[in-house]
Chain A
Amino acid sequence: NAGVMQNPRHLVRRRGQEARLRCSPVKGHSHVYWYRQLPEEGLKFMVYLQKENIIDESGMPKERFSAEFPKEGPSILRIQQVVRGDSAAYFCASSPQGPPNTEAFFGQGTRLTVV
């Protein structure tokens, strides 16, 4: 009865490299949300996906960031050419239904450090 699984838990990348963050939702959940948490701040919504579709990406930076949720496999948040400012904790949440989302389950997060 696994919850939301994120890996890796910690990721270190040099400036200019690519970061790939994975999120396996709760079994049976087809709605996935990605959030970014900067130090001393709350979470900021990035993107909402439903199997194979991006529904709302209003919080995603226009460049270097992309997300997918394929029919099979985990959701992936990809950050290309990382910069120091990308260092943050990235959380994934899943839910059995779409908005209004009243039951989101969160993973433990991936802490990205760009050196």
Chain B
Amino acid sequence: AQSVTQLDSQVPVFEEAPVELRCNYSSSVSVYLFWYVQYPNQGLQLLLKYLSGSTLVKGINGFEAEFNKSQTSFHLRKPSVHISDTAEYFCAVSSMDSNYQLIWGAGTKLIIKP
């Protein structure tokens, strides 16, 4: 069965430092890849998505992610984080394997230290 792994449950980082949140997936077929952000007691908001084309995808709030097919990864990066980026980040994948339903990682809490 398709799965998504977010290895880090929490990532603490100082304000204005760069950050990378890791996401790996298992699938042998073409995939669509997503990153969502969840602020405390809120719903999920789409940060960015990879459907096809350029493997480097730019999203909102200065985030970007790179699709690496050989490593089956879709890591999220931001060159300089702000206190307002404190939230939980979820990676999700859909493909024919999942009837195109979203399969989710367990989430990574981004903790910004002042």
Interface residues as binary, A1-40 with B (CB distance below 8 Å gives 1, 0 otherwise) = 0001010000000000000000000000000010100001
Pick out which of these stretches binds chain B: A63-71, A72-80, A97-105.
Answer: A97-105
Q: Is the CB of A4 within 8 A of B101?
A: no
* Known interface pairs A91-B43, A91-B44; A45-B51 also in contact (CB < 8 Å): no
Closest Cβ–Cβ distance, residue B6 to chain A (whole Å): 8
Partner of B99, one of A44, A91, A99: A99
Instruction: Give Cα distance in the complex from A44 to B2, angstroms.
Output: 13
The CA of A104 and the CA of B41, in the complex, are separated in Å by 19
Q: A106 near B107 (CB under 8 angstroms)?
A: no
The answer to whether A104 touches B46, judged by C-beta atoms less than 8 angstroms apart, is yes
What per-residue 1/0 map shows which CB atoms of B80-114 lie under 8 Å from chain A? 00000000001010100011111111110000000
CA distance A43 to B92 in the complex (A): 9
**Contact status of A100 and B32, CB under 8 A, knowing A42-B106, A42-B107, A45-B101:** yes
CA distance A82 to B103 in the complex (A): 25
Interface residues of B (CB under 8 A from A): 4, 6, 9, 32, 36, 41-46, 49, 51, 90, 92, 94, 98-107
12 contacts between A and B (CB under 8 A): A4-B43, A40-B9, A42-B90, A42-B105, A43-B44, A45-B103, A48-B101, A56-B99, A93-B44, A101-B100, A104-B102, A108-B43
Q: A91-B44, A106-B36 are in contact. List 15 more A-B contacts (CB 8 A).
A: A33-B102, A40-B9, A42-B4, A42-B90, A43-B102, A45-B102, A56-B101, A99-B100, A101-B102, A102-B32, A102-B49, A102-B51, A106-B45, A108-B41, A109-B43
Q: Which residues of A contact B (CB under 8 A)?
A: 4, 6, 33, 35, 40-45, 48, 56, 58-59, 91, 93, 99-104, 106-109
